[in-house]
Amino acid sequence: MAFAGKVWKLLVGIKDGLSLLFLLLFFFILFAILTARPGPAQIRDGALLLELNGVIVEEASAIDPIQALLSRSALTREYDVQDVVHAIDQAATDDRIKAIVLDMTEFLGGGQVHLQDIGEALDRARKADKPVLAYAVGYADDAMMLAAHASEVWVDPQGGAVVTGPGGNRLYYGALLDRFNINARIYKVGTYKSAVEPYERSSMSPEARENAEALYGALWEEWQAQFAKARPAADLARVTRSPAQWVEASNGDLAEAALAAGLVDRLGSRTEFGARVADIVGPDGFDATPGTFAHTRLDAWLRGNPRDSDGTAIGVVTIAGEIVDGEAGPGTAGGDRIAALLDEALAQDLAGLVVRVDSPGGSVLASEAIRDAVLRHKASGIPVAVSMANVAASGGYWVSTPADRIFAEPETITGSIGIFAVIPTFENLAAKYGVNSDGVRTTPLSGQPDLIAGFPPEVDAILQASIEDGYRDFLTLVSASRKLPVERVDAISQGRVWDGGTARQIGLVDQYGGLDEALAWVAAKAKLEDGDWHARFLGGDEPVYDNLLRNILFSDDGEAGRQPNSNGDFFALVAKRQQAMLGQVENDLERLLSMRGMQAYCLGCPAEPRRLAAAATPGSLLARLEAFFGH
């Protein structure tokens, strides 16, 4: 009887738990219906406050409610670069906005092209006589680039600024895999296809080093040129060439060093910064806390300033993140999902199509599914352009091949035309522990692939031949698209990664420019005048619950929305780099053990900001619910 009583109590507990969960979900839905879409009444005269507590991306990832509920870590907020640029441009011409404020205390970065796009929008606002003020506790490269476009740059006296430049080390696991008797079977084509090197080597190959030095050298030159143009008085050479002496000259005070080098204009606390903004835009009429000022936040501003929808539509499909098989995304380029979006848009009578690519590539099958869908639009007779953002490499270039014209920025990373696959087998590990395999085969391929016994020579030969055939297909696509001989494409391919400037010189890119330039080109080809067309972003609808989850996870007010991994002093920067390295180990291990199909992926490209920022941070959704509903 005692045992039956315990079972009964367990069943009752499970029933009560499920009832509580469903009740909670019911109130979630009810709350979403009542409050998830506040109106534009939240817009107030004052400053447009861009409190960038996360990363800038091409396409924000959808929030999985179950993952958010069960996760032990806080989700990193993602800001769509097109939203940020649109918000700044609208503020530049709106009399209600007296200034634009950048709070980058918790900014985690963005791609170089995205930072340039936002910086140019800030320049346009300044030309419209809207002052731009920036504040942070600590500035790293990405935050420093945005701040360079501000009319006043403030830093907390306890913080500072450092500029490290692009590049750094990555991890190599060749010796570790040998030690654990794991055989990473690598199939590839491309002298410079360094994606597989971490699994077979313990250091960078000379070819990969040559490519990386050229790529990062070009990106660094562009970064310095853009920074010097935005903030010409700053002594960047002193900061980057002799950083230790630069800091020692200010007795180790990074904030004073930043001020002395012209990286920032003023030292002050958040309260002092807020008082300065209040002098320009007026005090906050609803909050008398010191350091507050009249402002409108980004989300409310965007709701009150939707994108133009007048005139003929030009479609924009976004391919952001790794290209994978299936329905994944947004934020990840699921091949089936994007192909379906494109096929549904065939019935929308679009005047043209812009394919916006910000992807290091991925699955060859998914890349081909997207390319086929783009070709169906091209077959309808409309002009098709590709706009490359930060990265359009490997599979990201594969999906670009149908374009009539390819636009990229000098800082864009592209190329990496090559194919690979990695499959781990464990025959050596099994033998070490006395596990052997034996059996009967009717053909050389019977029982294959066998991950424990390993592959016979026939399987290795077939897999390598398949990779070489995929590479020839890639070369043929690029040759036809770029009107270059296959031999010439092969010479500039081999997995090599190029910066956008060099890519234009060798014929992989047609023209410098961003999304606006690509849209304007398509409009001209479609014989549309300015004002007679608008961009229609395909697949931009959010799930009903998405806005509610964003309100809870990324609340604009109070501690519920604060990220614990804010930009702080130099030691905080070191900690974030350590977290990013741990995230890289996790990604590399997952890529090795997932045994994906044939890949056109650029592991030699810099990691996505969202991946670097995704290192675990404390604070799950359950922890935030109490803070959210407690306000």
What residues are labeled active site?
193, 394
Kindly state the helix (H) or strand (E) to which residue 293 belongs, with its residue range.
none
109: left (phi over 0), alpha (psi -120 to 50) or beta: left
Which residue from 542, 404, 414, 408 is spatially nearest to 480, judged by alpha carbons? 404
User: Using CA atoms, how far apart are residues 4 and 144, in angstroms rounded to an integer?
Assistant: 66
481/458 Cα distance (integer angstroms): 35
Contact 613, 55 (CB under 8 A): yes
Q: Report the sign of the C-alpha dihedral through residues 271, 277, 280, 284, in that order.
A: negative
Q: What is the CA radius of gyration of the chain?
A: 26
The CA distance from 335 to 505, in Å, is: 30
DSSP state of 369: H
Q: Where are the alpha helices (DSSP H) in 327-363?
A: 335-345
State both tokens at 90. 């609208």
Measured CA to CA, the distance from residue 384 to residue 401 in angstroms comes to: 10
Name the nearest CA neighbour of 509 among 500, 518, 496, 521: 500
- Tell me the HSE value of 255 on the side-chain side, using a 13 A CA sphere: 17
User: Residue 52 — φ and ψ, nearest 5°?
Assistant: -85, 85
Exposure string of 169-182, with b = 16+ CB inside 10 Å and e = fewer, is ebebbeeebeeeeb
What distances in angstroms separate CA 434 from CA 405, 414, 430, 451, 452, one per listed residue? Answer: 59, 47, 6, 16, 12
3 state SS of 191:
coil
Cα–Cα distance measured from residue 208 to residue 197, given in angstroms and rounded to the nearest whole number: 9
Report d(CA 246, CA 262) in Å as an integer. 12
**Among candidate residues 373, 380, 372, 406, the one with its CA nearest the CA of residue 392:** 406
Is the four-CA dihedral 249, 251, 254, 255 of positive or negative sign? negative
Bridge partners (DSSP) listed for residue 132:
100
Which residues fall within 8 angstroms of residue 33, CB to CB, at 6 or more apart?
Answer: none
Tokens 């067309």 -> residue: 533
Query: How many angstroms separate the most distant Cα atoms in the chain?
Result: 85
Q: Are 132 and 150 in contact (CB under 8 A)?
A: yes
Nearest to 490 by CA among 402, 418, 406: 418
Kindly state the tokens that stand for 203.
């250091």
287 strand-pairing partners: none
